[in-house]
Chains A and B, each alone.
Chain A
Amino acid sequence: MDLLYKIFLEPFVQMGTAPDLLVQTLWEGMVGGMLYALIALGFVLIFKASGVFNFAQGIMVVFAALTLIGLHAQGIPAFVALALTIAVMFALAWSVERIVLRPLVNQPDIILFMATFGITYFLIGFGELVFGGDPKTMITEELFLPKGSWDIKMLGGFVSLQKIDVAAAIIASIMVAVLSVFFSKTRIGRALRAVADSHKAALSVGISLEQIWVIVWFAAGLVALVTGIMWGARSNVSFALEIIALKALPVLILGGFTSIPGAIVGGLIIGVGEKLGEFYWGPLVGGGTDSWFAFVIALIFLMFRPQGLFGEKIIERV
């Protein structure tokens, strides 16, 4: 009885009596969810254009951020370092295409998926070897990113918004808009979608797979860099982020693997859900529930709606 009370009543009473806390929690959840969505966006880009489920996206985030910090630490001015990092991400995209994807064209998806485990581990080892394994601080001021917070009085208390989070939301929105236009309006965007449907068919109508893959991995690399900067500004940059980045996977389950809006909505649902769950119900089971919440939601989702929120039912043929 007491337990039922704690599960079904107390959290809502808490929400009602301290609405400012609720708003604060929702905001935190949305910011966290936005970062998941950004990582998921990188996944979606690559999946749409190559059918590859890129497990390494999370690591690319860390790798991009570490490269930026590392270059700056060598005394290179911030914006030059940023440009160089973009060049590094292009080199990465090019090498991935040349070394990993090209020999694996037309292999089963699961083989390509496992190959990205290889990329992940290689990048972890390489990144730590070059930049060291200790956590680093993101160069926010040098990139003119805002610091501090706005405290807004509301609902009988106040809600604190970090300026960097607001900036992140704006930058992310711009990026998503640009990518959507790129995908739907440009010639390359259409070619990308053709490649995603079938490698062979795309090749047969004269689309260059190599070119498309380099472009799309580079785009994912840019998304990773932006994500890395935003995330790094909130906490330290280290390979521990890898574990958190895995939460982009349940986001994809919810949103579907090919839908940009899906990635965003999925990211926000997961982000807000895990924050609310942890804040109001977490203490009942000892806390730390956000380590698995997203995955269990995805698991339940998979059992009842395997095609995701926006996906269509798949008809199997023999």
Chain B
Amino acid sequence: MRAPAAGDQAAREILLSMENVSLSFGGVNAISDVSFDIRKGEICAIIGPNGAGKTSMLNVINGFYTPRQGRITFKGVARAKMRPYEAAERGIARTFQNVALFRGMSALDNIMAGRTLKMKRGLLWQMLRYGPAMAEEVEHRRVAEEIIDFLHIKDIRKVQVGRLPYGLQKRVELGRALAMEPELLLLDEPMAGMNLEEKEDMSRFVLDVNQHFGTTIALIEHDMGVVMDLSDRVVVLDHGVKIADGTPDEVKSDRNVIDAYLGVAH
């Protein structure tokens, strides 16, 4: 259990607010009428059984899917429709359930690619790779190296990521998302398929990111132990409907949640 963060939940500023969001694919409802808030600086876990709409929810948040209805307010600005790159520009980064690294590139290049939005030199300077373009390259290389240090992946920085073992790929992917210096970081099952040791490492990174950089984190995770330890708040989805929302303790004792997970005769 985390120590309660300074101040309390209600006092914190709302970073992202989802109001009555619904999403459907050809008549099938993936998410129906879900509302919740994510507050600045917190770690919010989205949990639920398979097919509950968790990944779809992340896809809605960063604009990959457009909701059928509902309002999404990020940093005080409501939006109806947003392209994924606009979400990135506004400070939402993300990792994927099935690692979505750029497989043909080195770990370093993957992280450098995460700096794309911060790099400004245009085609002409890029063609020369000299002067300001090189200075910019070096400046961002320095940031990338800080992230590499932070994640302890120094020895693999020049390795093509397609050849890395799964656990390290997940770590590089986190590094790539961190390189964007996001305000909101979406992690889709960051610990799926990991052994206990790797899970502990990854949990440590997630907490460090949250504490050192003050990044707000929304994560999907199946391991309840991890969820309860890491998160400030938990949102529970089932069949696209929100069934609970609160601190880990509240959620743990919630009747609906227990029913959803254990199944109940209706």
Contacts and interface: CB of A to CB of B under 8 A. Distances in A.
Interface of A: 315-316, 318
Interface string B241-257: 00000000000000000
Nearest to A318: B96
B59 to A, nearest CB: 7
B59 A318 contact: yes
B243 to A, nearest CB: 24
A318 B64 CA distance: 9
A318 B25 contact: no
Q: Majority SS of interface residues in chain B? A: loop
Contact of B55 (A315, A316, A318): A318
B71 to A, nearest CB: 23
Interface in B196-222: none
A318 B96 CA distance: 7
B264 interface: no
A317 to B, nearest CB: 8
8 contacts: A315-B25, A316-B64, A318-B55, A318-B59, A318-B64, A318-B96, A318-B97, A318-B100
Nearest to A316: B64
Contacts of B25: 315
Q: Majority SS of interface residues in chain A? A: loop
Given A316-B64, A318-B55, A318-B100, 5 more contacts: A315-B25, A318-B59, A318-B64, A318-B96, A318-B97
Interface in B124-170: none
Contacts, number: 8
8 residue pairs, one from A and one from B, having the closest CB atoms:
A318-B96, A315-B25, A318-B64, A318-B100, A318-B59, A318-B55, A318-B97, A316-B64
Contacts of B96: 318
A316 B100 CA distance: 14
Contacts of B100: 318
A316 B25 CA distance: 11
A171 to B, nearest CB: 40
A315 B96 CA distance: 17
A226 B255 CA distance: 69
A16 to B, nearest CB: 45
Interface string B57-87: 0010000100000000000000000000000
A316 B96 CA distance: 14
Contacts of B64: 316, 318
A315 B25 CA distance: 8
Contacts of A318: 55, 59, 64, 96-97, 100
Contacts of A316: 64
Interface string B89-104: 0000000110010000
Contacts of A315: 25
A111 to B, nearest CB: 13
A225 to B, nearest CB: 41
Interface in B95-123: 96-97, 100
Nearest to B25: A315
